[in-house]
Amino acid sequence: MSAAYARLDATALRASILAGERTCARTVAECLAGIDERDGELAAFLSVERDWARERAARLDARLAAGERPGALFGVPVALKANMCTEGIETSCASRILAGWRAPYTATFVQRLLDAGAIVVGVTNMDEFAMGSSSENSCAGPTRNPWDVARTPGGSSSGSAVAVAARMVPLALGSDTGGSVRQPAAMCGVFGFKPTYGRVSRYGLIAFGSSLDQVSPLARSVRDLELVTEVISGHDERDSTSLAEPPIEREHPAAPGSLSGFRVGVPREHFPHDLEPGVRACCEAALARLEAIGAELVPLSLPHTPFAIPTYYVVATAEASSNLARYDGVLFGLRAEGDGTLPGMMAATRAAGFGPEVKRRILLGTYVLSAGYYDEWYGRALKARGLMRDDFERAFEQVDVIAGPTSPTVAFRLGERVDDPLAMYLADALTVPVSLAGVPGISMPCGCALPADGGAGELPVGLQLVGPARSDARLLRIAAAFEAASEDLRREPPPGSAR
């Protein structure tokens, strides 16, 4: 992989193109070379759109030469998770049931990327229909963590996180429903940002949990997150749940070196006794770093945190059971004939097309909505959700941001949790409360640690920062301050080798 290409983040890449130091064509060539070099082992990509990317690069170069004003992401190679619709591109959600399905339209947020001059180079692997935390639920097989290829990169935006971490692309989009961008960001040592619910349009994001899903970017720098967030965010008339607000602009001043005056809440429930020691150590050190640049740490409580996992899984699976009902062999996707009747065909199609985790969640979701069980399960979960949002709102009366580990553990081994769905769900314990409340959250690399399972190499740890609703620009600037003050804590993954 070209060292120059690997070193530049999206902001620098664009600047370099505009300064005439490189062309889009060369950038795409280097990007594709990097993918060729690394992706055989890592399996981040489900498909690579070589011809399309090359043609687009050539056209962008010509337009720049003709004096056209370059967009905010001009010439930047970007990867999209396989649940994001781009017209004519296979968008399978890593599921057999949508294998070969070419989206008939382009998502609003993808169009905004394209309008800003980005070059979509490929579609990344994910847990099927975004259900999972490890990529092991993909029908195409798992993606591997570049830090240790025997381990998971996290999920469900696994491929997008790895594509950025292994420097195949500087920017990728994932989707975060209960932590699906923040957690893989933490496990791969990159930045992942979930905006306030409603700040980025969901039109064209294939739905899993409608009231939780958010398009969320992954990058190697905070300024890149700010760059892409400004491009994709802002009201969309095609999404009734998108906030009536303009795109999120970077706040000024450019980089607050000091966080003096800022209060950082530390919830005791996010430092449970069974937190991996390495994760605890890294996060405590990161908190100390925040203090060192002027922040005041304030211990607090988010008392409903222990109920977050049940609440999340009841709400998310209920919505999913309804959102995935359309996959039935009638209008698009896979079809299995079954017993030749209409209901038989639908049942057989869904049995053949969905993987075990998806089936599990559809069944759970159907159950919690069914007659006689609604009040006990879904009804209660909706109320519990409100209480969780209240926890955050109350906390934000005292503090500006909340900080804690993104994930209770570092990357675990592939195969370790596949037979224990509940263990897999618990990986999300620290990220789902944020999703339930609809507030913004970011995971930032804050060092490496040894895993508790005896593995030999150190693995990335992520610190999560959470802000009040609609404080996205402020949250990103606080993250930038931490980024500037913690460069020594960040490391590069190994350049690529089999273990």
3-state secondary structure 358-409: HHHHHHHHHHHHCCCCCHHHHHHHHHHHHHHHHHHHHHCCCCCEEEEECCCC
Query: Is residue 331 a contact residue for other proteins (CB under 8 A)?
Result: yes
The CA angle 476-482-487, to the nearest 5 degrees, is 125
User: C-beta of 237: minimal distance to other proteins in Å?
Assistant: 7
User: C-beta of 179: minimal distance to other proteins in Å?
Assistant: 15
Active site includes 156?
yes
Window contacting other proteins (CB under 8 A); options: 50-58, 65-73, 294-302, 341-349: 341-349
- Catalytic pick among 95, 134, 138, 156: 156
Residue 28 CA: distances (Å) to CA of 17, 285, 450: 12, 39, 36
Window contacting other proteins (CB under 8 A); options: 63-71, 358-366, 440-448, 450-458: 358-366
| C-alpha span between 235 and 77 (Å, rounded) | 25
- Contact letters (x/-) for other proteins, 404-443, by CB under 8 A? -----------------xx--x------------x-----
Number of residues this chain uses to bind other proteins (CB under 8 A): 95
Q: Quick check: 316 and 212 in contact, CB under 8 A? A: yes
Residues numbered 157 to 216 that lie near other proteins (CB under 8 A) are 197-198, 202-207, 210-212
Window contacting other proteins (CB under 8 A); options: 47-55, 104-112, 156-164, 456-464: 104-112
| C-alpha span between 152 and 423 (Å, rounded) | 14
443 DSSP 8-state letter: E
| C-alpha span between 262 and 260 (Å, rounded) | 5
Query: Is residue 377 a contact residue for other proteins (CB under 8 A)?
Result: yes
Q: For other proteins, give the closer residue by CB, 52 or 307.
A: 307
Query: Is residue 98 a contact residue for other proteins (CB under 8 A)?
Result: yes
User: C-beta of 333: minimal distance to other proteins in Å?
Assistant: 7
Q: For other proteins, give the closer residue by CB, 100 or 495.
A: 100
Q: For other proteins, give the closer residue by CB, 27 or 201.
A: 201
Q: Which residues pair with 462 in a beta bridge?
A: 445
Q: Does residue 33 sit in helix, strand or coil? A: helix
User: Taken in order 346, 351, 356, 359, is the CA torsion positive or negative?
Assistant: positive
Among 243, 264, 275, 479, binds other proteins (CB under 8 A): 243
User: C-beta of 135: minimal distance to other proteins in Å?
Assistant: 20
User: C-beta of 214: minimal distance to other proteins in Å?
Assistant: 9
Q: Which residues pair with 267 in a beta bridge?
A: 300
3-state secondary structure 301-346: CCCCHHHHHHHHHHHHHHHHHHHHHHCCCCCCCCCCCCCCCHHHHH
Query: Is residue 244 a contact residue for other proteins (CB under 8 A)?
Result: yes
User: C-beta of 369: minimal distance to other proteins in Å?
Assistant: 4
Query: Is residue 272 a contact residue for other proteins (CB under 8 A)?
Result: no
The CA angle 352-357-363, to the nearest 5 degrees, is 80
User: C-beta of 123: minimal distance to other proteins in Å?
Assistant: 14
| C-alpha span between 62 and 58 (Å, rounded) | 6
- Catalytic pick among 138, 180, 201, 435: 180
Query: Is residue 334 a contact residue for other proteins (CB under 8 A)?
Result: yes
Task: Fill in the amino acid letter for 83.
Answer: N
Among 5, 271, 354, 482, binds other proteins (CB under 8 A): 354
Backbone angles phi, psi at 190, to 5 degrees: -125, 175
Q: For other proteins, give the closer residue by CB, 255 or 351.
A: 351
Q: For other proteins, give the closer residue by CB, 258 or 341.
A: 341
- Contact letters (x/-) for other proteins, 303-322, by CB under 8 A? -x-xx-xxx-xx---xx-xx
Among 1, 43, 93, 430, binds other proteins (CB under 8 A): 93
Active site includes 471?
no
Q: For other proteins, give the closer residue by CB, 218 or 314.
A: 314
Q: Quick check: 217 and 174 in contact, CB under 8 A? A: yes
CA dihedral 60, 65, 71, 76 (to 10 degrees): 50
Residue with tokens 């989206």: 103
Among 363, 394, 398, 484, binds other proteins (CB under 8 A): 363
Task: Fill in the amino acid letter for 304.
Answer: H
Residues numbered 72 to 91 that lie near other proteins (CB under 8 A) are 83-85, 91
Known catalytic residues are 81, 156, 180
